[in-house]
Amino acid sequence: MKVLHTQGPFRFVENGILENGMPDYRLQEQDYYNRKWFDVYLFDNQMQCLLAMEDQEYPKWLTGKPCYIKDSVSRLN
Q: How far apart are CA 25 and CA 2, in angstroms?
A: 10
User: What is the 8-class DSSP label of residue 64?
Assistant: T
pLDDT for the residue 1: 87
Does the model's pTM come out above 0.85?
A: no
Dihedral of CA atoms 29, 33, 35, 41 in degrees, nearest 10, equals -10
Burial of 28 (0-12, 13-18, 19+ CB in 10 A): buried
Span 34-57, pLDDT tens digits: 999 999 999 999 999 999 999 998
pLDDT for the residue 49: 93
